[in-house]
Amino acid sequence: MIELPEACVMAGQLNKTVCGREIVSLTMNYTPHKFAFYAGDPADYGGFLKSKSFETAVSYGGMVELRAGDYRLVFSDGVNLRFYGETSRRPVKHQMLIEFYDGTALSGSVQMYGGLWGFVDGDFENEYRKAALEKPSPISSAFDNAYFSCLIGAVKVQKLSLKAFLATEQRIPGLGNGVLQDILWRCKLHPRRKVLTLSTEEKDALYSGIRQTLDMMISAGGRDTEKDLFGQNGGYPVRMSTLHASEGCPACGSSITKEAYMGGSIYYCPECQKLGGDL
Ligand SMILES: [Zn+2]
């Protein structure tokens, strides 16, 4: 599932491709999906968008948003967006297909669950979108050391593990289980470590690790575990993932450990990321 780096890359790609192209048709919910969510009746989206063009694409958290005047088309992190050239075959199944005047197209399909919300700005509320828009993005200047110190210094997070601290409660928009593994590996911190056991130096390292890792992922066009607008894998090799875990730790050569933890897998190097005696 895409997270902040891929949403950021996707918005850049949408700006260079679909933005500025006239929309001739929009088909929503062609393949009904139990966990595809819409804003109101998706059959109404076309009435707002036909003959218009998207002016810009933006991202916040793990979400991508296309804008046409005051109309918004927002995709949550579970939606795969793909661009098709004039002669490319369109997907057989999809929850959204937009055809443009020049013969190109954009599709959206839901993996497990996802939102494809079309609405006039101000007419739709969603708590995830609200959090992603209002909280400082971890790649913005507002996410500075002072802000991070407040986040990690809050009383209610002290007993949380680092995985829970980083990837739950929308605490840091767009930072999920996918990107946190390499962040923690780079900082030499175990995903099960409790926040209250971190030294000041370790907290500083975590702050820098978040910023640096996200920056590297975006610069490389996203993670290699995810696909971009053109169906290409990103260029950032996710060391702590199913793709590269078998290669061992790039820092020390140890075998990577994979465990089930908090409704997902965690990967870590047992040598570089010591748990200590706090669990
Ligand atoms: Zn290691």
* Listed residue (153, 123, 166) closest to 4, CA to CA: 166
Structure tokens at 79: 């939606």
Q: What digits encode the pLDDT tens for the residues 122-143? A: 999 999 999 999 999 999 999 9
Contact 170, 134 (CB under 8 A): no
User: Which residues make beta-bridge pairs with 117?
Assistant: 74
If you measure from the C-alpha of residue 226 to the centroid of ligand 1, how many angstroms do you get, rounded to a whole number? Answer: 24
Spacing, Cα 152 to ligand 1 middle (Å): 25
How many angstroms separate the alpha carbon of residue 225 from the centre of ligand 1? 21
User: Which DSSP letter does residue 224 get?
Assistant: T
Distance from the CA of 260 to the center of ligand 1, in angstroms? Answer: 19
The rounded Å distance from CA 7 to ligand 1 centre is 29
Percent of the chain with pLDDT over 70: 99
Q: What is the mean pLDDT of the chain?
A: 96
In degrees, to the nearest 5, what angle opens at C-alpha 58 toward C-alphas 54 and 61?
145
257 Cβ partners below 8 Å, 6+ apart?
A: 267, 268, 269, 270
- What is the three-class DSSP state of 108? strand
Ligand 1 centroid vs 254 CA: distance in angstroms? Answer: 5
- For ligand 1, the distance from its centroid to the CA atom of residue 269, given in whole angstroms, is 5
Of 262, 239, 137, give the one whose Cα is nearest residue 188. Answer: 239
Cα 59 to middle of ligand 1, angstroms: 34
C-alpha–C-alpha distance, residues 271 and 8, integer Å: 33
Helices first, then strands: H and E counts in the chain: 7, 11
Q: Are 102 and 21 in contact (CB under 8 A)?
A: yes
- Give the predicted TM-score (pTM) of the model: 0.95
Q: Which two tokens mark 273?
A: 């990321």
> What is the 184 CA–ligand 1 centroid distance (Å)?
12
- Cα(234)–Cα(6) distance, rounded to whole angstroms? 8
pLDDT number for residue 278: 46
| Structural domains for the chain | 4-134 (3.20.190.10), 145-268 (1.10.8.50)
CA of 176 to the centre of ligand 1 (A): 22
Burial 47-66 (b: 16+ CB within 10 A, else e): ebbeeeebeebbbbbbbbbb
Distance in Å, CA 240 to ligand 1 centroid: 11
pLDDT, tens only, 85-110: 999 999 999 999 999 999 999 999 99
- CA 76 – ligand 1 centroid, Å: 34
- Ligand 1 centre to CA of 100 (Å) is 49
> For the chain, how big is the Rg over CA atoms in Å?
20
**Token pair 């946190």 in the structure block, residue:** 180
Is beta strand 36-38 parallel, antiparallel or unpaired with respect to 114-120? parallel
For residues 261-271, give the mean pLDDT.
95
Q: What's the pLDDT band for 276 if we cut at 50, 70, 90?
A: confident
How remote is the CA of residue 188 from the centroid of ligand 1, in Å? 8
Q: Please check whether residue 26 is in contact with residue 97, taking contact to mean a CB–CB distance below 8 angstroms.
A: yes
How many angstroms does the Cα of residue 267 sit away from the middle of ligand 1?
Answer: 11
Separation between Cα atoms, residue 151 and residue 144, nearest integer Å:
11
Q: Which residues surround ligand 1, an ion (CB under 5 A)?
A: 249, 251-252, 254, 269, 271-272
**CA–centroid distance, residue 61 to ligand 1 (Å):** 29
pLDDT digits (tens, 9 = 90+) for 17-63: 999 999 999 999 999 999 999 999 999 999 999 999 999 999 999 99
User: Rounded to an integer, what distance in angstroms lies between the CA atom of residue 207 and that of residue 200?
Assistant: 11
More confidently predicted of 276 and 268 = 268
